[in-house]
Amino acid sequence: MRVRGESALSPLGMRPRHLVALTVLRDAGESTQQGLAGLLRIDRTNLVGLLNELEADGLIERRRSEEDRRRHIVRLTDTGRERLAQAEFALAGAENEVLGALDAEQRETLYGLLRQAMGGGDGPPGAADGCGTPHPGADGGADPAC
The pLDDT > 90 percentage for the chain reads 72
Cα distances (angstroms) measured from residue 89 to each of 58, 62, 76, 92: 20, 26, 18, 5
Reported as a single tens digit per residue, the pLDDT across 95-112 is 999 999 999 999 999 999
Quick check: 100 and 117 in contact, CB under 8 A? Answer: no
Residue with the bigger pLDDT between 60 and 141: it is 60
Q: Say if residue 131's pLDDT is above 90.
A: no
pLDDT for 123: 42
Q: Which residues make up the CATH 1.10.10.10 domain(s) of the chain?
A: 2-100
Q: Which fold has domain 2-100?
A: Arc Repressor Mutant, subunit A (1.10.10)
pLDDT for 145: 38
Residue with the bigger pLDDT between 62 and 122: it is 62
Q: Which residues contact 50 (CB under 8 A, 6 or more apart)?
A: 17, 18, 21, 42
Query: pTM of the full predicted structure?
Result: 0.75
Q: Say if residue 115's pLDDT is above 60.
A: yes
Quick check: 21 and 39 in contact, CB under 8 A? Answer: no
pLDDT for 121: 56
Lowest mean pLDDT among 17-26, 38-47, 134-143: 134-143
